[in-house]
Chains A and B, each alone.
Chain A
Amino acid sequence: EDQVTQSPEALRLQEGESSSLNCSYTVSGLRGLFWYRQDPGKGPEFLFTLYSAGEEKEKERLKATLTKKESFLHITAPKPEDSATYLCAVNYGGSQGNLIFGKGTKLSVKP
């Protein structure tokens, strides 16, 4: 069973059409949930870290939230340059210092 599940696998939006990406996790003892953005053929770019339920963080058009079982990445009025794969990863008691990643959501924003 996957410990980190991201949905949807792919999302197509029109420019300006807001939406949310979901990351659900089944691990216990969460120590941190991380969001990354990855462009094709490149390494993941760090976006946010969330540590406790109720926490929220914002950066430009992106806002990340965390509950006890899932995290959402809200994208407000997206632009074509927001097109990328968004990866969610968790660090928990059993993983020690390493990250457990989901498979990602591929976002396409059309002008």
Chain B
Amino acid sequence: DAGVTQSPTHLIKTRGQQVTLRCSPKSGHDTVSWYQQALGQGPQFIFQYYEEEERQRGNFPDRFSGHQFPNYSSELNVNALLLGDSALYLCASSLGQGPYNEQFFGPGTRLTVL
């Protein structure tokens, strides 16, 4: 049973550039959530996608955008990168978007902005 997969594993960008991160949910899951984890901190919620629409959003600027495809996979896009965007970006999947549903995380994408 394939778990949550993310690509790429690592990414180095410079300030002002744009980046796209990808996520494939665990088999049977239809909801994808994205989190940002700075060094030494817990993950912070960015947004959640269900039925190809953004359903919830955390306290992140519009530079952060996303997409969900018909096969439930998802992309996270970040424009005009800042040094402070350097972090581990985590994708989590669940079955449905309800609050009781357990979220399973992928290995993450380590983004470094120089």
Please state if A43 and B105 are interface contacts (CB–CB under 8 Å): yes
Chain B, Cβ-Cβ closest to A103: B42
Q: Please, how many angstroms separate the alpha-carbon atoms of A99 and B43 in the complex?
A: 9
Please state if A97 and B42 are interface contacts (CB–CB under 8 Å): no
Counting chain A CB atoms within 10 Å of each CB, which of B58, B99, B110 scores highest? B99
Chain B residues with CB under 8 Å of A89's CB are 42-43
**Could you say which of A36, A43, A91 contacts B99, with CB atoms under 8 Å apart?**
A91
User: With A31-B100, A32-B100, A43-B106 as given contacts, are A101 and B42 in contact (CB-CB < 8 Å)?
Assistant: yes
Number of interface residues of A (CB under 8 A): 28
Q: Which of A53-111 contact B (CB under 8 A)?
A: 87, 89, 91-93, 95-104
Q: Mark B95-114, 1 if CB is under 8 A from A, else 0.
A: 00111111111111010000
Chain A residues with CB under 8 Å of B55's CB are 97
**Could you say which of A36, A41, A98, A104 contacts B88, with CB atoms under 8 Å apart?**
A41
**Could you say which of A91, A96, A104 contacts B42, with CB atoms under 8 Å apart?**
A104
Q: Please, how many angstroms separate the alpha-carbon atoms of A97 and B35 in the complex?
A: 13
Counting chain A CB atoms within 10 Å of each CB, which of B6, B104, B110 scores highest? B104
Chain A, Cβ-Cβ closest to B109: A43
Number of interface residues of B (CB under 8 A): 32
Chain A residues with CB under 8 Å of B107's CB are 42-43
Q: Please, how many angstroms separate the alpha-carbon atoms of A41 and B41 in the complex?
A: 12
User: With A89-B42, A97-B56, A99-B43 as given contacts, are A46 and B88 in contact (CB-CB < 8 Å)?
Assistant: no
**Could you say which of A45, A97, A103 contacts B41, with CB atoms under 8 Å apart?**
A103
Chain B, Cβ-Cβ closest to A89: B42
Please state if A49 and B105 are interface contacts (CB–CB under 8 Å): no
Chain B CB within 8 A of A34 CB: yes
**Could you say which of A42, A49, A95, A103 contacts B40, with CB atoms under 8 Å apart?**
A103
* 6 further A-B pairs in the complex, CB-CB below 8 A; given A102-B42, A104-B42: A43-B105, A45-B105, A51-B100, A93-B99, A96-B99, A101-B42
Q: Please list the 9 inter-chain residue pairs (A to B) with the smallest Cβ-Cβ separation, ordered nearest first.
A: A101-B42, A43-B105, A98-B45, A31-B99, A91-B99, A97-B97, A44-B105, A43-B107, A43-B108
